[in-house]
Structure 1
Amino acid sequence: MRRVFWVGVGVAITVVVVVKGRQVLARYAPASLVDQATDRVNGLGERAVHLVRDFRTEFTTARDARERELMAALLAEGQEDPDAVRARRATAGRHTRPDARADTDDVEDLLGYSF
């Protein structure tokens, strides 16, 4: 309980120092200095946005490449890509037929195994 109290006191002191510091800075700092600092902070924010965008695109590219590598390593030799199988099934309308069990042999032929 004492630790929580002192953490609260520390937070309160920090807030007071920051607020009073901004007031003193606004009172005594020249306007051009404040404008320069504002421009630098805005420029830093723009650079951070560009950095995050670049990181995101590089991460997405690397993730997709790694996914392709893993998929190639996991698929058996000669086995068809699962996305192609899914696309073919979706276009064939497998689930829309009244008798869905009629194409069970076709699916087992596509998968290459059966139980």
Structure 2
Amino acid sequence: MKLMTKKQREKLLDNGKNRPEDARPVIKLFDPTGAATWLLTELDEDGDTLFGLADLGFGFPELGYCSLEEISALRGRFGLGIERDFHFQAKHPLSTYAEAARNARHIVEFGPEL
């Protein structure tokens, strides 16, 4: 599966270059057979280093950098890879999702935490 569209890649690269103060996530990636989720705002010019909110399903979501190549190579149960949420539309800046995730101990997109 293609993890991002050309338009999303361009927006991630633009955010990586210009470093907006508190960008909204551009894409949401997730493990369809597990609890891992990423809300990503930036892509470095190297084309591999992403920045965003990562929740690997252990109750400790955190802001940081991750590798597109490594995420693309991940395989969950039944050999399924990471997928992009086609319906995700960020309604808040990344800091809002990060604070809500710390409180809920997982990434949330709606509800009282937001």
| Structure number with larger C-alpha Rg | 1
Name the structure, 1 or 2, with higher relative contact order (CA <8 Å, separation 6+): 2
Higher helix share: 1
Under TM normalisation by the shorter chain, which class is it?
A: under 0.3
TM-score normalised to structure 1 length? 0.17
